[in-house]
Amino acid sequence: MPLVPFDNVGSVGIIKDIPPYNLPQGAWSDGNNVRFLDNGVKKIAGYQEVMATCPFAPYYIHPYLTTAGLYYWIAYGTSAIAVYTGTTWVDITRSSGAYGANTSSRRWTATNLNGLVVATNGFDEPQMWPLSSGIPSTGTPFTALSNWPNASYSCKSIRSFRTFLVGLNWGRANQEPRLVKWSTEASYGSAPSTWDETDATLDAGEYELSDTPGDIVDGLPLGDSFLIYKEDSIYIMNYVGTPYIFSFKLLSPTVGALSKEAIKEFDGGHFFIGNSDCYICNGQTVTPLLPNKVRRAMFEDLSGDNYQKCFVAADYVRNEMLACFPSSGSDVVNKALIWNWKDNTFSFRDLPDTSFINSGIIDITAGATWDASSEYWDTGSGAWGERNYDNVKKNLVFCDVTNTKIFRDSSGNTKDGTNMTSYIERTGIDLDDPQSVKTVTAVYPQIDVSGDNSVNVYVGRQISTEQGITWQGPVSFNPNTQSKVSCRISGKYFGIKVESTTDMDWKLHGVAFEVQQRGLRGLRDYG
């Protein structure tokens, strides 16, 4: 009997809002905890605790590079800050007392300016941590940012641009949510000397973005420009020198960012989460990314009460953006839409109770040089070069606020020791003949698995597009000892689902269906 292939399985990704029978070859109708890699479908790697348990619920984390070329990590809670020395957390909270951050509107964000760490929570005056050559053995606390205009002033976000600090969405005597204010240029290792916009001899200044009504959400450099994202619009900020220092131009009057930290740079552009879509901004145009694909699957599941907790994480090793969001009914971020910008594929994954994800080098003693790595990018110790990267390669680091843990992504196959369920599913497969009834007698999964493990395989059937699919299975399939899954089902349309629920890895390259043509008379046998 002839074999009908279902191949190119990693070329399109998951498309949920097009009828399955209209999907292109290689597209999938559903899935979770998978990614599309090298024209295959691959189970998402696991994660495990990588640092000592944080002394408080970590709501923000970022790596810091010392003058000696060593990385270490700074974690931020609602009221405290700590730095990880490689073995323990050291309290570096300001000596004047706890902070007034919270989990939503007063979220921490931080930036590096010439080696200086500057952080703000939108409530307290911004904080700074000095340039360092090594890992501190005792706590050197954060202090108020030197030369800040007033101790009662705050800003929702602070970013470095060129050698300036840019404060966005200010709280002064009154809230000034559309105000952009920048410092004078800073020397290496030092805070800016002033923010005084009235001194014409200096280059500090301020500007109110009043052409559109929304509040400023965040901003991020892009090439030689700085893009400012409001709730409903985007502005571009360019350096022009004296007397104005910066110029401002409205780039998009209708599209803005959903939340702080929901913007990341990649390949000369920004990926960001908007109010109803994810977008790409190249500094000239703003392009929606999710039409007719997974937009509704993400935004209909996003918790409207907790949208301010959304953020974007970038996995530059795998060319992936993670749009992270709290699903309906969740108070914390627990899901991510994954977009591979090289292959333009989409998938979804589960997250732990996550407040933030950042990317950086884990082993602070190894240094930040390529020569320190003992293996190549594509030959890691895990299956297919994905899991268990060298510690000197950048990894995604998760903040788990429920368990006060820091997780390293792509480590093992479980969720910190708990098995995960991953699956990929396609329905509406007509096997090149949508008019006739056919009988499938076997399917041949082309799949790699780690060790002597098995996956669950389901085969489904439909008489018509109006009828729901009926599944047979699961059938345990071990590609080390088996070549096919035997079945005998009849219909016009068919489905395939591959699933794992144990501590294992797998990658699907394709499926072939063994088909017997039956014609219209075969309807009698359709059960």
Six-digit token string for 362: 């884990």
The strand pair at 485-491 and 405-409 is best described as unpaired
pLDDT-derived band at 138, boundaries 50, 70, 90: low
pLDDT score of 361: 87
Q: Is the pLDDT of residue 389 over 90?
A: no
Is-contact 301 310, C-beta < 8 A?
A: no
pLDDT band at 383 (very low <50, low <70, confident <90, very high): very low
C-alpha closest to that of 180 among 150, 207, 217, 219: 207
CB atoms within 10 A of CB 476: 12
d(CA 392, CA 511): 37
Confidence of residue 292 (pLDDT cuts 50, 70, 90): low
Candidates 463, 445, 462; CA nearest to 454 is 445
Three-state SS letters, 4-68 = EEECCCCCCEECCCCCHHHCCCCEECEEECEEEECCEEEECCCEEECCCCCCCCCCEEEEEECCC
DSSP 510: E
Condensed to tens digits (0 to 9), the pLDDT of residues 152-165 reads 999 999 999 999 99
- In Å, how far are 243, 259, 311 from 104, measured between CA atoms? 38, 10, 12
Name the pairing type of β-strands 13-14 and 27-28. Answer: parallel
The tens digit of pLDDT for each residue in 429-473 reads: 999 988 899 999 999 999 999 999 999 999 999 998 888 899 999
For 122-135, the pLDDT digits (tens) are 999 999 998 665 55
> Which of 208, 225, 305 has its CA nearest to residue 268?
225
pLDDT digits (tens, 9 = 90+) for 293-313: 688 889 999 999 999 999 999
Q: What percent of the chain has pLDDT over 90?
A: 74
Collect all residues with Cβ–Cβ distance below 8 Å to 495 and sequence separation of at least 6: 20, 425, 426, 427, 428, 429, 458, 459, 460, 461, 462, 469, 471
Statement: residue 519 has pLDDT above 70: no
The Cα 502–Cα 449 span in angstroms is 12
| Strand-pair partners of 345 | 340
State the average pLDDT over residues 92-110.
88
CA-wise closest residue to 404 among 328, 332, 321, 312: 332
Structure tokens at 430: 């007509």
> What are 268-279's pLDDT values in tens digits?
999 999 999 999
pLDDT higher at 399 or 71:
399
**Contact (Cβ atoms closer than 8 angstroms) between residue 409 and residue 399:** no
Of 257, 285, 287, 251, give the one whose Cα is nearest residue 272: 257
> 0.85 cut: is pTM over it?
yes
Per-position DSSP letters for 393-446, written without gaps between them: SEEEEEEETTTTEEEEESSSSSBTTB---EEEEEEEE-TT-SSS-EEEEEEEEE
- Percent of the chain exceeding pLDDT 70 equals 90
CA distance 155 to 192: 16
- Exposure b/e, 328-367, CB count within 10 A at least 16 = b: eebebbbbbbbbbbebebbbbbbbbbbbbbbbbbbbbebb
Domains observed in the chain = 3-42+421-525 (2.60.120), 47-409 (2.120.10.80)
**Eight-class DSSP state of 295:** H
Do residues 360 and 368 make contact, with C-beta atoms less than 8 angstroms apart? no
Task: Tell me the C-alpha distance between 336 and 352, whole Å.
Answer: 10
Measuring CA to CA, which residue among 238, 66, 267 is closest to residue 166?
238
Count of residues in the chain = 527
Spatial contact of 171 and 150, defined as CB atoms under 8 Å apart: no
> Which value, to the nearest 10 degrees, does the dihedral of the CA atoms of residues 496, 382, 35, 334 take?
110
Supply angle C-alpha 183, 184, 189, rounded to 5: 95
Task: Say if residue 42's pLDDT is above 70.
Answer: yes
**Interstrand relation of 143-144 and 127-129 (parallel, antiparallel or unpaired):** antiparallel
Q: Which residue has the higher pLDDT, 134 or 376?
A: 134
